[in-house]
Amino acid sequence: MERRFLWVAMGLAVVVVIAVAAAALLRGGTTVPYNGSIIDPPSPAADFGLTGPGGRTARLSDYRGKVVLLYFGYTNCPDFCPNTMGVLRKVRADLGAQADQVQVLLVTTDPARDTPERLANYLAAFDSTFIGLTGAEADLQAVYAGYGVTVMDEGTTHSTRVYVVDAGGNLRLTLPYGLTAAQVTADLRRILQGD
Amino acid sequence: MRKSIFVRVALSMVLGVLIAGVISEASFLLQDNVSRPPQEVVLVIPNGAAAQTALGQSVLAQELVLVAGDTLVVRNEDVTAHTLGPLYIPPGASASLALDQPENVMVTCSFQPQQTFGLDVRESLTLDTRIQGILLAGVPMGVLLALYSVVIWPLKKAQPA
């Protein structure tokens, strides 16, 4: 009699556990959100022209056809910039063959010190494909304004988000500082697949 | 004998859950919590916000109270782009921010004269959570009460007929 009661109780416990697990699965079975902040609807990214490697003018629109990761920072930055560049280096490595479809651009917030050569040397330490851009103060200020970038204290205080511009030149996503390379890679794969 | 054990355990469980319920609900009422499940919260930046901000006028509240798990969707109906913390919101677009952890932070923004906006993210205490808490505290308390009752009022052995 007691043994039968035990079997019934165990059976009920198993049913309860299965029901709870099924409810949890159903509740979590919705679309996985992006890790970054999606911009809805995608908005045309403001085009600009700045001085790139070798003193040549580089425009954002030159990279149409690739997904551009646009960041604003400076080479003497002790924390946010090297950390972000480190994450983006890992992202490109993790993307494998798709890495060729991604271009990282760093626009300086410290044009007084960041010459094209200095930017190139700094970025080469992370990834030889990363491109640094600088320019006249007025030109840079226009670019900052076009992307809502806050730059203070002679460029040493600045916004830390990464802007993701899709192959069609539309702003699709911003990535807050602190995302892991795996999170960024997951978002980029979705954009590269046309999600 | 078996019936008396069952009655004693059942009464102890009910008492335990009642005591846990009273304590839990009293502390819930005393604390400044938000009792709703996580949801999508929309913040609309109205048209003309940038112009009014430039004049030193505030067009929105200076703080938003949310619960952990909320998604803050910021819709920009202004003619210029706006920012809120890590978000960049072009005109006519929206951007979202997932708020996973309880925290009370001030973030930079472009639509307040002070250039800051408060995000007060509180613990989400739904009815489910509160009931779970009451049961988690009440059932062990009931077991302890049952054991304690055995010490205070020992069980009587059934007398042979």
User: Closest Cα of chain B to A38: distance in Å?
Assistant: 6
- Say which CATH topology domain B40-122 has: Immunoglobulin-like (2.60.40)
Contact B93 A43 (CB under 8 A): yes
Q: Does the CB of B110 have a partner CB in chain A at under 8 Å?
A: yes
Sign of CA dihedral B123, B128, B134, B137: negative
Structure-model confidence comparison of residues A194 and B113, the more confident one: B113
- ∠ CA B87-B39-B25, nearest 5°, is 125
CA distance A76 to A82: 9
Helix axes A181-192, A80-95, angle to 10 degrees: 50
The secondary structure of chain A in percent helix, strand, coil, rounded to multiples of 5, reads 45, 25, 30
Phi, psi of B82 (to 5 degrees): -130, 160
> pLDDT class for B152, splitting at 50, 70, 90?
confident
pLDDT recorded at residue A84:
95
State chain B's mean pLDDT as an integer. 88
| Residues of B with Cβ-Cβ distance to A33 under 8 angstroms | 71, 96, 98
Nearest chain A alpha carbon to B96 = A37
List of long-range contacts for A77-85, beta carbons under 8 Å, 24+ apart: A77/A156, A80/A158, A80/A160, A80/A177, A81/A106, A83/A177, A84/A160, A84/A162, A84/A177, A85/A123, A85/A126, A85/A127, A85/A130
Contact B86 A160 (CB under 8 A): yes
Residue from the list B82, B91, B96 with its beta carbon closest to the beta carbon of A37: B96
Q: What is the pLDDT of residues A126-161, one digit of tens each?
A: 999 999 999 999 999 999 999 989 888 888 888 889
> pLDDT class for B155, splitting at 50, 70, 90?
confident
pLDDT recorded at residue A4:
62
Contact B88 A38 (CB under 8 A): no
Contact A148 B96 (CB under 8 A): no
Q: Does the CB of A87 have a partner CB in chain B at under 8 Å?
A: no
pLDDT recorded at residue A33:
82
Q: What is the ipTM of this complex?
A: 0.70
Contact B90 A40 (CB under 8 A): no
pLDDT recorded at residue B15:
93
CA distance B102 to B82: 25
pLDDT recorded at residue A51:
95
Contact B83 A176 (CB under 8 A): no
CA proximity to A104, closest of A128, A121, A122, A82: A128
Q: For residues B32-52, give the mean pLDDT.
A: 88
Contact A37 B94 (CB under 8 A): no
Residue from the list B71, B81, B108 with its beta carbon closest to the beta carbon of A150: B108
Mark the ranges of chain A whose per-residue pLDDT is less than 70: 1-32
pLDDT at residue B41 greater than cutoff 90? yes
Q: Strands A49-51 and B87-89, how do they pair?
A: unpaired
The set of residues, in sequence order, having a beta carbon less than 8 Å from that of B73 and lying 6+ positions away, is B40, B41, B42, B43, B94, B95, B96
Does residue A83 contact residue A175 with C-beta atoms inside 8 Å? no
| Residues of B with Cβ-Cβ distance to A43 under 8 angstroms | 90-93
Q: Does the CB of B78 have a partner CB in chain A at under 8 Å?
A: no
pLDDT recorded at residue A29:
46
CA proximity to A172, closest of A160, A182, A159, A162: A162
User: Closest Cα of chain A to B19: distance in Å?
Assistant: 26
Q: For residues B49-65, give the mean pLDDT.
A: 92
**Taking the CA of residue A99 as centre, how many other CA atoms within 13 Å lie in the half-sphere pointing to its CB?**
14
Q: Does the CB of B83 have a partner CB in chain A at under 8 Å?
A: yes
Q: Does the CB of B79 have a partner CB in chain A at under 8 Å?
A: no
CA distance A92 to A104: 9
